Chains A and B, each alone.
Chain A
Amino acid sequence: MKRRAFLKTVSAYSFASIIPSFHHSVIPSLLVPMDDSQTDHLKAYGLTYKAIQAGLKAEWLLNYRGGSFLIPDLDALRRDAALNGIRTEPVDSAMTAVRGEIEANNMDTVPLEKAPKVAVYAPPNAAPWDDAVTMALQYAGIPFTKIWDAEVMNGSLKDFDWLHLHHEDFTGQYSKFFLIYSGMSWLAEMVARNSDMARRLGFQNVPELKKAVARSIRGYVENGGFLFAMCTATETIDLALAAHNVDIAATFADGTPLDPDADAKLDWSQAFAFTGAHIETNPLVASFSDIDGHQVNGGARRQPLGAYTLFNFSAKIDPVPTMLVQDHRQVIPDFYGLTTSFTRNRLKPGVTILAEEEGAPWVKYVHGDLGKGTWTFLGGHDPEDPQHQIGDPPTDLSLHPHSPGYRLILNNVLFPAAKKRELKT
């Protein structure tokens, strides 16, 4: 964890002895339940974020009533909760019983101390509703900064604790829409904007620029940053990293055909999550490799959507993955993206699977560490728009305040706020 890194190794200390928690303080507390009694799950994350942003201490009660939060019982927070339709419960006298229940079960408490500074990697003209994370952050009221290639290349990433990537194609092939959507104005603008940026930053072509951006993001994680990626950014950033010495871009993207032996030349040691994948060489198929299990644009290879199940981790032993899977639903309907899922046999050893479709050859949600930082990949584009198509209307999250899929995104946003903790081995 950046500057306050989580340690994967588990210490011999008991949690209770090292976690400073404010239940001993005189300030009474409000419980923000996250089970089915909650009236707006997504905004509850924003309320908690605002509390820690204001310098107050909060706690995340892992596995307790759907992963509830404990925040100080202050008028300002009560008012915020009322305005946003968030259910809160005063728990002064009941807190002892709550902590007893947590102690006796597969539950734990994690102090939340510092509001993470959030960056979203997106082109300047990206519509705010074309990215599930941006929508979730806006709806929950969590502030963020948009950055793009220029900011990444000039070292601005160090100013942020958390970086989100969405449907950027880091292979520099414009999501391989170049031939399929030829003539569409939005594509022409995308091509012009990327080409201009590559020129400005001194790169020969867009694929080379994106490889450099991918390497900078990798460096950011190695130095302690949190990376959360969705949709096609997950697959293509690994392809771009693995392809640092080989041309995997089609002729339309860089003027040269891709290397016929690209598969053999990929260096997967540079990648975050995947290994041994085969590149999709057909420029007319909007798919990048066999990492994606669903191949939404792969014609006969396309797989139907099912449902994915969140793993139940041990809260006291594995608090990090436990935080990432806090939800009031354990089985969640799947949703397509240009990259929907991750084929199991393309995952590197050591990658933590957070959610999978039982019996299927793919998983949905994975996590791992790199250097001092961590990365988390979630397949799919929009949890509440399972068949998302270009040009679809934006998802109105006020109609989905209990979205379990969006909760996974917001778990990731709050996760860097958790206080460093020594863990047992």
Chain B
Amino acid sequence: MSLRSKGAAVAAMVLLASATPGRVARGQAIGPGFELERSGRYADAASVYFTTVRSDPTNIPALLGLERTLFVLNRMPELLPLVQNARARQPESHALRSLELRVYAALNEPDSLEAIARRWAASVPQSEAPYREWGLALADRRMWDEARRAFLTGRQTLGGDGTLAIELAELEQRVGNWEASATEWARAVTRWPDALANAASQLADAPAPMHDRVGRALIAPGASPRARRLGAEVLLTWGQPTAAWAALEPTLVAADSDSPGALRRFADLAGALTTPEGHRVRGLALARWADMMAGSPGAGRARAEAVRELLDGGDKIAARRVLEAHSDSNGVAQAALIQLLIADSQLDLAEERLAAPSTAITADDRAALRLTLARAQIARGDLNRATAALADDSSVVAIAQRGWIELYRGNLKNAMEAFRVAGPYGTDRAAATDRTAMMALLQRIQDETSPELGAALLTLARGDSVQAIAALRRAAAKLPEQGGRLEVQLLAGQVAAQKGGDQEATAIALFDEIVRIGGEGAAPPAAELDWARLLVRNGRAAEAVPHLEHLILTYPNSAFVPEARRVLERAKGAIPRS
């Protein structure tokens, strides 16, 4: 007996046992049987079930108990006369008919099984049940061809393309005929839309080499819209969002009442994808849904979400198209459009829209946009317009941002002051950490200004790492050895190490110099730790070990020692990689 049959039998047992008060009493009588069965004492459990059936020949829970236990004990022939007797007493009982078929299947008597099934079918000529149970009983015995013939006999007798399609789809899947399974699922969802979720879940498990064939079976020309939607969902779960959208889009006709639901489901499924392509098709689906549901309460929110997804997916044109069509009265859309313009480097236009009086954009959104615009101006190198973009914003975030602008201008003292006012906790954690690290560097420098350092840091902020490394090295050369030079060199080394490739040699040269000079401050142990990390990253763990040991033994009170020990453990292979 398969797990599935067992599960079904147990479920049936529970349902039947609780159906009527009389049944409850019988269920209690066979309760010890369940306990014995659960503790593995199958022979004793069977005895209890036999006793129950002798006094109540149609007691289905007891008969199902015998089905389970006698199968384990290899005594199934003893069950047949009891089931035949029960079925004769209650010929209309679906459960007993099914049980009889399963017993014949367990006894490996397919001819008798077919005769019994056909007799049952003759008594209920419009019902799929006899063919379904006939096929399932054979499938549970892994008699695949015979099971397929049973289902197809039912389809031929009853007519209808989708008859027993779910059973055939599951059968083909168990056999490994994924393409045939997909064809049957296409038939099933065409007939029963509710089967779509189950179909998609089942077909999602198809092995990768079968994906093309399964996909073609679902979205081939002439496939029903529901089959194509099934195909779209399956392609999505396989991580093919563009192909999925191509399969779905032609099915979205306005008159089809299923379309909004299909779109929403598609958008939800696409939400599990983290690729730009996944974000893009989710955005397309949400925008389309919002258009279809225009006027509904969720449409505006869906459109805003669509824009965000389209931006995450890199499709600025589609995002802007959505926004421009709907931004007049909607503050969220206006804010999103300005953000889009900034992302698209159209800073003048963004500045203009942000300056225009509008009550739709909230104060918080406006402040956030100003900050984003200021960062974009910094990235362009225009510090004056960055300052102007912040206007009179007195929030912690804006103060911190002004600190960075001062730093890029080379006004180290002003920058330090702004960072101090902003404090270590305002803004998000990463930004606060960056600020704190920069304060640690600045406090080693005695000079109040350093245009060279400011320019180097601005170059770094603008994303030109290679130029920034060279500029930082030049700026460091102008500082005293124990007055900030090592710290600025360390920053240059860290940037070079992060850049990788040819810059790794530069990083190692910088770390080497810092470690050789040594002295007070955090730079020497930090450089040695970064040096070791770089070596580990490049598969040179053995070379990293002496550096880490030197760090731990030379700077036992350094804050880098615990991390150095962890890297040392990893370099030695003493702790597993997560």
B578 touching A79, Cβ below 8 Å: no
Query: Range of interface residues on chain A?
Result: 20 to 34
Q: How far is the CB of B469 from chain A (nearest CB, A)?
A: 33
Given A82-B552, A83-B552, A85-B565, residue A396 in contact with residue B574 (CB < 8 A): no
* Residue of A85, A257, A279 with most partner-chain B CB within 10 A: A85
A139 touching B568, Cβ below 8 Å: no
Q: Which of A82, A84, A393 contacts B578 (CB 8 A)?
A: A393
Query: Range of interface residues on chain B?
Result: 20 to 34
A-B contact count (CB 8 A): 50
Name the residue of chain B whose CB is nearest to the CB of A251. B72
CA distance A129 to B575 in the complex (A): 8
Name the residue of chain A whose CB is nearest to the CB of B38. A282
CA distance A92 to B74 in the complex (A): 76
Q: Which of A83, A281, A396 contacts B40 (CB 8 A)?
A: A281
CA distance A370 to B125 in the complex (A): 73
Q: Which of A83, A135, A285 contacts B568 (CB 8 A)?
A: A83
Q: Does A394 sit at the interface, judged by CB under 8 A?
A: yes
Q: Does B553 sit at the interface, judged by CB under 8 A?
A: yes
Chain B residues near A396: list those with CB within 8 A: 575-576, 578
Q: Does B549 sit at the interface, judged by CB under 8 A?
A: yes
A398 touching B556, Cβ below 8 Å: no
Name the residue of chain A whose CB is nearest to the CB of B545. A83
A394 touching B578, Cβ below 8 Å: yes
B569 touching A139, Cβ below 8 Å: yes
A139 touching B565, Cβ below 8 Å: no
CA distance A282 to B549 in the complex (A): 55
CA distance A127 to B3 in the complex (A): 31
Interface residues of A in 70-117 (CB under 8 A from B): 79, 82-85
A397 touching B575, Cβ below 8 Å: yes
* Residue of A135, A139, A282, A397 with most partner-chain B CB within 10 A: A282
Q: Which of A83, A127, A398 contacts B566 (CB 8 A)?
A: A398
* Residue of B39, B41, B576, B578 with most partner-chain A CB within 10 A: B576
Q: Which of A135, A179, A282, A285 contacts B576 (CB 8 A)?
A: A135
A138 touching B575, Cβ below 8 Å: yes
Interface residues of A in 360-414 (CB under 8 A from B): 393-394, 396-398
CA distance A82 to B558 in the complex (A): 13
Name the residue of chain B whose CB is nearest to the CB of A78. B553
CA distance A84 to B545 in the complex (A): 12
CA distance A282 to B553 in the complex (A): 58
B553 touching A139, Cβ below 8 Å: no
A139 touching B575, Cβ below 8 Å: yes
Interface residues of B in 148-182 (CB under 8 A from A): none
CA distance A60 to B575 in the complex (A): 26
Render B410-444 as a binary contact track against A, CB cut-off 8 A, 1 for contact: 00000000000000000000000000000000000
Render A247-260 as a binary contact track against B, CB cut-off 8 A, 1 for contact: 00000000001001
Chain A residues near B40: list those with CB within 8 A: 279-282, 285
Q: Which of B3, B38, B553, B565 contacts A398 (CB 8 A)?
A: B565
Interface residues of B in 36-67 (CB under 8 A from A): 38-43
CA distance A68 to B552 in the complex (A): 24
CA distance A423 to B284 in the complex (A): 82
CA distance A119 to B566 in the complex (A): 26
Q: How far is the CB of B568 from chain A (nearest CB, A)?
A: 7
Q: How far is the CB of B321 from chain A (nearest CB, A)?
A: 44
Chain B residues near A82: list those with CB within 8 A: 552-553, 556
Q: Is chain B's binding surface mostly helix, strand, loop or mixed?
A: helix
A394 touching B576, Cβ below 8 Å: yes
CA distance A138 to B43 in the complex (A): 50
Q: Does B562 sit at the interface, judged by CB under 8 A?
A: yes
Name the residue of chain B whose CB is nearest to the CB of A139. B574
Interface residues of B in 248-288 (CB under 8 A from A): none
Q: Does A128 sit at the interface, judged by CB under 8 A?
A: yes
Q: Does B22 sit at the interface, judged by CB under 8 A?
A: no
Q: Which of A79, A84, A393 contacts B565 (CB 8 A)?
A: A84
Q: Does B81 sit at the interface, judged by CB under 8 A?
A: no
Interface residues of B in 560-576 (CB under 8 A from A): 561-562, 565-566, 568-569, 573-576
B576 touching A85, Cβ below 8 Å: no
A141 touching B578, Cβ below 8 Å: no
Chain A residues near B578: list those with CB within 8 A: 393-394, 396
* Residue of A79, A280, A396 with most partner-chain B CB within 10 A: A396
Q: How far is the CB of A162 from chain B (nearest CB, A)?
A: 20
Chain A residues near B566: list those with CB within 8 A: 398
Name the residue of chain B whose CB is nearest to the CB of A299. B38
Q: How far is the CB of A324 from chain B (nearest CB, A)?
A: 24
Q: How far is the CB of A266 from chain B (nearest CB, A)?
A: 15
CA distance A127 to B577 in the complex (A): 11
Given A280-B40, A282-B40, residue A83 in contact with residue B575 (CB < 8 A): no
Chain A residues near B575: list those with CB within 8 A: 135, 138-139, 396-398
Chain B residues near A138: list those with CB within 8 A: 573-575
Chain B residues near A393: list those with CB within 8 A: 578
Render A133-174 as a binary contact track against B, CB cut-off 8 A, 1 for contact: 001001101000000000000000000000000000000000
CA distance A84 to B574 in the complex (A): 12
Name the residue of chain A whose CB is nearest to the CB of B552. A83
Name the residue of chain B whose CB is nearest to the CB of A46. B574
A398 touching B569, Cβ below 8 Å: yes
Chain A residues near B576: list those with CB within 8 A: 127-129, 135, 394, 396
CA distance A139 to B399 in the complex (A): 47
Given A396-B578, A397-B575, residue A79 in contact with residue B38 (CB < 8 A): no
Q: How far is the CB of A328 from chain B (nearest CB, A)?
A: 20
Q: How far is the CB of A38 from chain B (nearest CB, A)?
A: 15
CA distance A393 to B575 in the complex (A): 12
Chain A residues near B549: list those with CB within 8 A: 83
Chain B residues near A282: list those with CB within 8 A: 38-40
CA distance A397 to B574 in the complex (A): 9
CA distance A282 to B43 in the complex (A): 13
B574 touching A85, Cβ below 8 Å: no
CA distance A177 to B112 in the complex (A): 36
CA distance A107 to B38 in the complex (A): 50
CA distance A179 to B4 in the complex (A): 13
Q: How far is the CB of A252 from chain B (nearest CB, A)?
A: 12
Q: Which of A85, A139, A257, A279 contacts B562 (CB 8 A)?
A: A85
CA distance A135 to B575 in the complex (A): 7
Given A84-B565, A138-B575, A393-B578, residue A260 in contact with residue B553 (CB < 8 A): no
Q: How far is the CB of B185 from chain A (nearest CB, A)?
A: 21
Q: How far is the CB of A283 from chain B (nearest CB, A)?
A: 9
Q: How far is the CB of A232 from chain B (nearest CB, A)?
A: 18
Q: How far is the CB of A47 from chain B (nearest CB, A)?
A: 13
Chain B residues near A83: list those with CB within 8 A: 549, 552-553, 565, 568
Q: How far is the CB of A385 from chain B (nearest CB, A)?
A: 12
Chain B residues near A179: list those with CB within 8 A: 3
Chain B residues near A84: list those with CB within 8 A: 565
Q: How far is the CB of B142 from chain A (nearest CB, A)?
A: 14
A141 touching B574, Cβ below 8 Å: yes
Q: How far is the CB of B248 from chain A (nearest CB, A)?
A: 31
Chain A residues near B552: list those with CB within 8 A: 82-83
CA distance A85 to B549 in the complex (A): 11
CA distance A141 to B576 in the complex (A): 13
CA distance A228 to B565 in the complex (A): 30
Chain A residues near B568: list those with CB within 8 A: 83
Q: What residues make up the interface of B, taking CB atoms closer than 8 Å to A? A: 3, 38-43, 74, 549, 552-553, 556, 561-562, 565-566, 568-569, 573-578
18 A-B residue pairings within 8 Å (CB atoms) = A82-B552, A82-B553, A82-B556, A84-B565, A85-B561, A127-B576, A135-B576, A138-B574, A139-B569, A141-B574, A280-B40, A281-B41, A281-B42, A282-B38, A285-B40, A394-B576, A396-B576, A398-B575
Q: A393-B578, A396-B578, A398-B566 are in contact. List 12 more A-B contacts (CB 8 A).
A: A82-B553, A82-B556, A85-B565, A135-B575, A135-B576, A139-B569, A141-B574, A179-B3, A279-B40, A281-B40, A396-B575, A398-B575
Q: Sort A-B residue pairs by CB-CB distance and give the 10 closest, nearest first.
A: A281-B40, A394-B576, A129-B576, A282-B40, A393-B578, A138-B574, A398-B575, A398-B566, A83-B552, A85-B565
